[in-house]
Amino acid sequence: MEFFADYAGFLAKTVTLVVAIVVVLLTFAVLRKGRARASEGHLEVHKLNDFYKSMRQRLEASLLSKDSLKALRKREAKEAKAARRTEEKLPRVFVLDFDGDLKASAVENLRHEITALLMLATPQDEVVVRLESGGGMVHGYGLASSQLARIRQAGVPLTVCVDKVAASGGYMMACVGDKILSAPFAILGSIGVVAQLPNVHRLLKKHDVDIEMLTAGEYKRTLTVLGENTEKGRQKFQEELETTHELFKNFVARYRPQLAVDEVATGEVWLGVAALGKQLVDQLSTSDEYLAERAKSADLFHLRFAHKKTLPERLGMAASTAVEHLATKGWSGLNAQRFWQ
């Protein structure tokens, strides 16, 4: 019995210590959360030329003989010295990434990245956006497209690279580019608008459940989830969709006048090869191919605006990683994929 009493005392002390640590951490997290999130952000800048150069040099060191490698390095040093002597200033290419979700959440970082680069960029420079998005909410992607339009308005050439998908709101962003590059099997298009919602009114009515909805304004609510939808409400909702679609079409036509908008604004999607024929894109190329070529004659800078993660976010990421690791390990025989439609 004395053993169990000692163990219980030890367990109580341990639990008390753990609870105290959790309370301190939560308090610290709450205090940090009160700070303005924008002030915690910072811009990260990486020169991509160094990345390409290191890969090339590593490969050369593995393939060339010592004498050949020594001669190559000597020649490169001589060329670099000559370039410094002439003080030749290379054009700059600013590279941004946009990985879109339904809410276009990445626009929060994109807006800061664009603000930063526009402080230095000139018409002799270029902005390359590596874009991937299947679309989402109208207002979110409208804002994201407007951010890219700032680059065009500043007179800085804008190139959009699509390696996988730029559809619906994603293509709304892509069309702002002076030039759109697409991988051969990337998905593009879907210039259309869709909305759907369930309606459980008949189920509620079957169980004698009444829904009271009071509105001021004839069309404050057109379609609802709980109430009874009317034909008049459906027609109004459809009118709103058509209006939004017309704005979408006009936006695309403004930035890509070469398009036969009515032919491509049917909600259909095309692979890159077919999209080139429809003039939805200007060239077939992956972003890797394009940037590697640009690195030969320009200085490439990758910009990323990052927020300092709060303690709860870091704990959440750690937990998510652990769960993902366990799930992957436990279901190694399952190969499930989700396709955008």
CATH number for position 168: 3.90.226.10
Clarify whether residues 156 and 225 are in a common domain: no
Given 213, 240, 264, the domain boundary residue is 264
Tell me: do 229 and 297 sit in the same domain. Answer: no
Residues 160 and 241 reside in one and the same domain = no
Catalytic residue among 66, 89, 220, 329: 220
Residues 6+ apart with CB under 8 A from 120: 92
Neighbours of 76 (CB within 10 A): 13
User: Using DSSP, how many helices (H) and how many strands (E) does the chain show?
Assistant: 13, 9
220 is catalytic: yes
pTM for this entry: 0.75
Task: Note if 47 is an active site residue.
Answer: no
Domain assignment of residue 162, given as a range: 39-60+88-190+268-306
Last residue of a domain, one of 264, 294, 321: 264
- Residue 188 and residue 275 in contact, taking contact as beta carbons nearer than 8 Å: yes
Q: Domain tally for the chain? A: 2
Tens place of pLDDT for every residue, the chain, 341 residues? 565 566 566 666 666 766 667 655 665 555 555 444 545 789 999 999 888 878 877 887 788 788 777 877 888 777 667 666 665 678 999 999 999 999 999 999 999 999 999 999 999 999 999 999 999 999 999 999 999 999 999 999 999 999 999 999 999 999 999 999 999 999 999 999 998 889 988 898 888 888 888 889 988 888 889 988 889 999 999 999 999 999 999 999 999 999 999 999 999 999 999 999 999 999 999 999 999 999 989 999 999 999 776 656 566 666 666 655 544 444 333 344 333 33
Catalytic residue among 168, 182, 190, 287: 168
Q: Which residue has the tokens 């001021």?
A: 216
Query: Between the CA of residue 228 and those of 35, 133, 201, 232, 270, what are the distances in Å?
Result: 45, 35, 6, 12, 38
**Residue 331, helix vs strand vs coil:** coil
Residues 54 and 123 in one domain: yes
